[in-house]
Amino acid sequence: MEYATRLNAYAPAPTAAEVDAEVARIRAIAGRNHNAEVYKFCYSAIDLTTLSCNDSVQSVTEFARKAAEFNLQYPHIPNVASICIYPSFVETVGLAVDGTPLRITSVGGGFPAAQTFLEVKALEVAMAVENGADEVDIVLNVGRMLTGEWDEAANEVEAIRAELDSDVVLKVIIESGALRTPELIRRASLLSMLAGADFVKTSTGKIDVAATPEAAVVMCRAIRDYYEATGRRVGFKAAGGVRTAEDAALYYTIVEETLGREWLTTDLFRIGASSAANNILSSIEGREVKYY
Task: Give 66-78 pLDDT, tens digit per residue.
Answer: 999 999 999 999 9
**Residue 55: CATH number of its domain:** 3.20.20.70
For 207, the 3-state DSSP assignment is coil
Task: Establish if 291 belongs to a structural domain.
Answer: no
Are 258 and 226 contacting, i.e. CB atoms less than 8 angstroms apart? no
Residue 219 confidence (pLDDT):
98
Per-residue pLDDT of 94-110, as tens digits, reads: 999 999 999 999 999 99
- Per residue in 104-136, pLDDT (tens digit) is 999 999 999 999 999 999 999 999 999 999 999
Classify 238 as helix, strand or coil.
strand
Taking the C-alpha atoms of residue 257 and residue 260, their distance in angstroms, rounded to an integer, is 6
**According to the model, what pLDDT value does residue 274 have?**
86
- Catalytic residues, by residue number, are 137, 201, 237
Give 199-243 pLDDT, tens digit per residue: 999 999 999 889 999 999 999 999 999 999 999 999 999 999 899
On whether residue 177 sits in a domain, the answer given is: yes
Segment 8-23 mean pLDDT: 96
Q: What is the C-alpha R_g of the chain?
A: 18
Q: Is residue 183 part of a domain?
A: yes
Q: CA distances (Å), 210 to each of 141, 237, 289, in order?
A: 16, 12, 25
**By percentage, how much of the chain surpasses pLDDT 90?**
97
Q: Average the pLDDT over 146-173 and give the result.
A: 96
Full-prediction pTM beyond 0.85? yes
* Per-residue b or e along 50-73, where b marks 16 or more CB atoms closer than 10 Å to that residue's CB: bbeeebeeeebeebbebbbebeee
Question: pLDDT tens digit string along 253-282?
Answer: 999 999 999 999 999 999 999 889 999 999
Helix, strand, coil fractions of the chain, as percent rounded to 5: 50, 10, 35
Contacts of 189 (CB under 8 A, 6+ apart): 174, 200, 218, 219, 222, 223, 226
- Residue 10 domain-assigned? yes
> Are the C-beta atoms of residues 234 and 223 closer than 8 Å to each other?
yes
Residue 292 is assigned to a structural domain of this protein: no
Kindly write down the DSSP assignment for every residue of 55-96, as one continuous string.
--HHHHHHHHHHHHTHHHH-TTSPPPSEEEE-GGGHHHHHHH
C-beta atoms surrounding 35 within 10 Å: 13
Count of structural domains, the chain? 1
> Over 90: is that where the pLDDT of 292 sits?
yes
- What b-and-e string marks burial along 132-144, b requiring 16 or more CB atoms within 10 Å of the CB? bbbbbbbbbbbeb
Distance of alpha carbon 125 from its chain centroid, rounded? 16
Q: Which domain holds residue 14?
A: 4-285
Q: Tell whether 224 is covered by a domain.
A: yes
In a domain, 290, yes or no: no
